[in-house]
């Protein structure tokens, strides 16, 4: 399959937002507000300090994506890149699309002096994703994710 792996552009926002809505439905049985997700995607694309998206384009449409966000580590004097919003169109799964996206991100990271590593979180029950990530060399860390939501979830309501 001919794929172009590249950083996303603002023109890709609609497809990325639709993937995010599908991802939430598929992995967490969660219905997201498409309008809010669209605003969130466009915000990230317009404000690079938040992160960036990498997309797989087959020449006709975007068929996969991953978002990279940043976390500063004072312990390492470096930046962790967090993979989020990993999604491949169901019609193109098990064809190496995510592997190509991941390899592209790793290549970018290795050329950034301050990047100390790549992390992601995965749903505990998502065994298929866990197998995929392990096959790429990712391993469980010594950390468990904990969170607290702010009263309003800090959702930007349009």
Burial classification of residue 75, based on how many CB atoms lie within 10 Å of its CB (0-12 exposed, 13-18 middle, 19 or more buried)? exposed
Most confident of 57-61, 124-128, 130-134: 57-61
Average pLDDT over residues 90-105: 96
Nearest to 118 by CA among 89, 87, 62, 76: 76
Please check whether residue 115 is in contact with residue 109, taking contact to mean a CB–CB distance below 8 angstroms. yes
CA distances from 33 to 40, 79, 105 (A): 11, 31, 28
Q: For the residues 100-127, what does the mean pLDDT come to?
A: 93
Return the sign of the alpha-carbon dihedral for residues 25, 120, 53, 61: negative
Q: What is the mean pLDDT of residues 113-132?
A: 90
Per-residue confidence (pLDDT) for residue 12, from 0 to 100: 98
The pLDDT of 46-64, averaged and rounded, is 97
153 band by pLDDT with thresholds 50, 70 and 90: low
From its phi and psi, is residue 107 left (phi > 0), alpha (psi between -120 and 50) or beta?
Answer: alpha
E strand or H helix at 135: helix 127-135
Band of the pLDDT at 96, cuts 50, 70, 90? very high
Quote the percentage of the chain above a pLDDT of 70.
95
User: Percentage of residues in the chain with pLDDT exceeding 90?
Assistant: 76
Q: Name the pLDDT band for 122 (thresholds 50, 70, 90).
A: confident
What pLDDT shows up at residue 73? 95
From start to end of 16-151, where are the E strands? 51-57, 62-73, 78-88, 115-120
CB 93 within 8 A of CB 63: no
| Mean pLDDT computed over 35-39 | 96
């Amino acid at each position: 399959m001919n794929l172009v792996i590249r950083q996303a552009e603002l023109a890709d926002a609609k497809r990325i937002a639709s993937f995010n809505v599908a991802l939430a439905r598929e992995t967490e049985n969660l219905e997201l507000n498409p309008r809010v997700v669209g605003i969130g995607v466009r915000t990230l694309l317009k404000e690079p300090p938040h992160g960036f998206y990498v997309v797989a384009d087959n020449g006709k449409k975007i068929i996969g994506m991953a978002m990279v966000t940043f976390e500063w580590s004072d312990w390492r004097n470096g930046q962790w890149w967090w993979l989020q919003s990993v999604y491949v169109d169901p019609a193109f799964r098990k064809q190496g699309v995510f592997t190509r996206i991941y390899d592209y991100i790793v290549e970018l990271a290795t050329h950034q002096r301050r990047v100390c590593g790549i992390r992601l979180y995965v749903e505990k029950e998502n065994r298929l994703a866990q197998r995929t990530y392990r096959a790429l060399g990712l391993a469980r860390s010594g950390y468990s994710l904990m969170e607290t939501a702010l009263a309003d979830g800090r959702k930007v309501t349009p």
